[in-house]
Structure 1
Amino acid sequence: MKKLILAAALAACFWLPNARAQNVNGTKLTDIHSDYIQIRAIESFFEDKQWIALEYGQKTSEYSELYIRDENGKKMEFNSAVDCLNKLKGYGYELFSVYTEQLNKDSNRPVYVLKRK
């Protein structure tokens, strides 16, 4: 049993430095130290999926760089913006304000501003 625990500990030591977390434009969510961030849900036109665009003041050349991505670089799907709010609570953020962004003359979407606790 001691050998199994030792082997597991050694494997964890070699694996953990290579582990990558959720990120935005290559920056891990745990490494974002902005006081305020904002998120908006982006819905797919062809599928029933939602992605989250997260802004914390970073420079981007493309809008697609704002999406939250998993450890493999794939855009993470969320059930809703509230699903993402609940996830970001674990990163030390709480909902501060909500406003609407006008997409065209007939539709708009909510934008959530979060504040670090």
Structure 2
Amino acid sequence: MKRFFLVIVLAVLTMAAIAQEPYKAYCEIVGTGNITGTKVKIEVDFGQKAKWAAPNARFLVDENGEKMNFNSMIDAVNYLAKLGWELILAYPITPTQGMSKDPVYHYILCKKVTSDEQIKEGINLKDK
């Protein structure tokens, strides 16, 4: 009986040691309007390495590889919320130089994950 109890205790302890503690992952979405003002261009930053050969690698794409369009920043936040992301902070930055004086919107989102693979789960970025 003692052996059986010892085996059960060791099995439970082994499983507990294997289970990973969730941690917070963050991403930033940056939104700019287009000339017509009808859609928002969204870039996503997970802290990924920038690719000089693929400047569009930060844009969300659908299953067909087409760039996704959003009606507003909240439309993009709602899309990411369905994938487990939570809005933490939002702030605009208004350019002081250049032709456009339209604000650039920055939204910081957070998601609890147990592995780095879960960070981009359900999210496709343009890679060409």
Report SS of the residue matched to 1:42: strand
SS at match of 2:75: helix
Answer with 1 or 2: which has the greater Rg: 2
Q: Decide whether the 8 Å contact of 1:51 with 1:68 is kept in 2.
A: no
Tell me, which stretches of 5 or more residues in structure 1 are unaligned? 1-32
Name the residue aligned to 1:86: 78
Q: 1 or 2, which has the higher strand percentage?
A: 1
What is the alpha-carbon distance in structure 1 between the residues aligned to residue 86 and residue 38 of structure 2? 27
Q: Which position in structure 1 is the counterpart of 2:66? A: 74
8 A contact 1:51–1:75 mirrored in 2: no
**Are 1:58 and 2:58 an aligned pair?**
no
1:116 paired with 2:111, answer yes
Contact 2:94 2:103 in 1 (8 A): yes
- Matching residue's letter, 1:91: L
> 2:39 matched to 1:39?
no
**Match of 1:88, SS?**
helix
How many matched pairs?
Answer: 85
Q: State the TM-score, normalized to the length of structure 2.
A: 0.56
Q: Greater relative contact order: 1 or 2 (C-alpha under 8 angstroms, separation 6 or more)?
A: 2
Runs of 5+ unmatched residues, structure 2 = 1-22, 113-128
> Going by fraction, where is helix more abundant, 1 or 2?
1
- Asked if structure 1 preserves the Cα contact closer than 8 Å seen for 2:32 and 2:103, the reply is no
RMSD: 2.3
> Alignment partner for residue 38 of structure 2, among 33, 40, 48?
48
TM-score for both structures, normalised by structure 1: 0.61
